[in-house]
Amino acid sequence: MPTPSSPSNLYYYEALLDPNSIRLVVLDAVAYKDAPLSCKIIQRPRQGQSPAYYAISYVWGDCRSFSHTLEIWQDGQDSSFLRINPNVDTLLREFRAPDTKQFLWIDALCLNQDDDIEKA
């Protein structure tokens, strides 16, 4: 299995399908708290058909240390990996539930941080 830092295995942000779309993290349920983090990132309309979700901004703490890994599953494809900072890792672990997926909008994950236009 390629390592998460392998360039061929890094998560690639697809362009938003519509100007009124947002990305949501669908955080996988887990049987035990220390299980590796995994999720899907989906696109949904800002209004109407989106599931209920928590909105979280991560501008706290050291945002430059990307020492943790988030596995992202894509429909019909293998998983890819996104580097995250320790605070986002902790936040995701706290929001995971043992029996249900959690829907989250987290600016650090749902906005392409390399795209200044999208962040604006």
Q: How far is 97 from 99, CA to CA, in rounded Å? A: 6
pTM of the predicted structure, to 2 decimals: 0.84
pLDDT score at 62: 57
- Bridge partner list, 24: 42
Question: How far is Cα 100 from Cα 25, in angstroms, rounded to an integer?
Answer: 13
pLDDT at residue 4 in the model = 45
How much is the pLDDT for 18? 87
Residue 54: is its pLDDT beyond 50? yes
